[in-house]
Structures are given as C-alpha cells and as structure tokens.
Amino acid sequence: MKKLIFAAIFCLFAATSFAQNNALGLRGGGGVELQYERLLNSGNVLKANAGMFDFDGSFFGTLVHNWEVCNWGNWTPRAGEWFLQTGVGGAVGLLNNGESSDINVGVAGNVAFGIHFSGAPITLAIDYRPTVFVLNDAWGSGFVNWGFSCVFHF
C-alpha cells in the first residue's frame, strides 16, 4: 500500500513538472467565480469565468483573451515569474435587479498583475475587469469589478 501511495505521489509531481497548458481555480471580488485558463502561446492566455455577481442572485460568464504585456522573470527568480496582462472579450449575464431578471450581453476588459510560482503549479493574481453591458440599460456596477484569483495548473 505504501508503494502505491508513493507511486501516485511521484506521478503527480512528475505530471506537474512539465509545461501545463490548463489551469482551474477561483476568483473572488464583487462575487465569486470559477476560472478556467488556457495557455495559448508566448504568455497569451484565454480566461473563461462563470459565477455570481455582487452576491445578489445575478449570474454571468466572461471569455477574455489576455496578452502578456510585461514579464519580470528575474525580479524574484526563486519565487517565480511576475507578469502583467491586458485583454478584451465578451460577457453574458442574467442580472437580477430585485424585481425581475434580465439577460444581458456586453464587452469585458481585463488588466491582471500576478505571479507564476516556480516551485508549485500555482498562479496568484489581482485584476481589474470592467464590463459594459449593452442591453436593458445595465451599465451599473460592472466598472468596479476588482478581483483576486488563485489557479492550479495541470
């Protein structure tokens, strides 16, 4: 049994030592979201989020393409690589205004600053994602969408 557990742990570490193209985690801020990331090329990332907005019964999803603007690999080489990303994409949501719910579509931007840890397959980031909804006069609180995310790469 001990050999089986040791083999499973060894396989887990071996699998995470190669370049991981996928990541899954959580983003918290004005709500809580499930976040999926797909590494595209040269630091570009496609991020898909789905979750609650403002904890008021509103649900939404975003798909944002992020470009890596800066990478500070030698800033803290033992800790990991720091990065700055910007991006643009789309958003769709079911917004609850207290009396009724409206389906809405919009445009989302993104600016993220974070670190890819070198010793673990984890990325931490803080980001700002303004969202402009274009249907049903719902411009509202999409401009104050700050968040903190933690994702695990696999």
Q: How many angstroms separate the first and last alpha carbons of the chain?
A: 26
* Domain assignments of the chain as residue spans, ordered by start: 21-153
Strand 146-153, strand 22-29: pairing? antiparallel
pLDDT for 37 equals 96
CATH of domain 21-153: 2.40.160.20
> Is the model more confident about 139 or about 60?
60
Residue 9, phi then psi, degrees to nearest 5: -65, -40
What is the average pLDDT across 23-29? 95
User: For the chain, what is the HEC assignment?
Assistant: CHHHHHHHHHHHHHHHCCCCCEEEEEEEECEEEEEEEEECCCCCEEEEEEEEECCCCEEEEEEEEEEEEEEEEEEECCCEEEEEEEEEEEEEEEEECCCCEEEEEEEEEEEEEEEEECCCCEEEEEEECCEEECCCCCCHHHHHCEEEEEEEEC
What pTM did the predictor assign? 0.80
Average pLDDT value for the chain: 83
Confidence band (pLDDT; 50, 70, 90) for 1? very low
The single residue listed with the structure tokens 């496609």 is 46
Percent over 90 (pLDDT), the chain? 51
What single letter denotes the amino acid at residue 122? I
Q: String of b and e for 65-81 (b: at least 16 CB within 10 Å)?
A: bbebeeeeeeeeeeebb
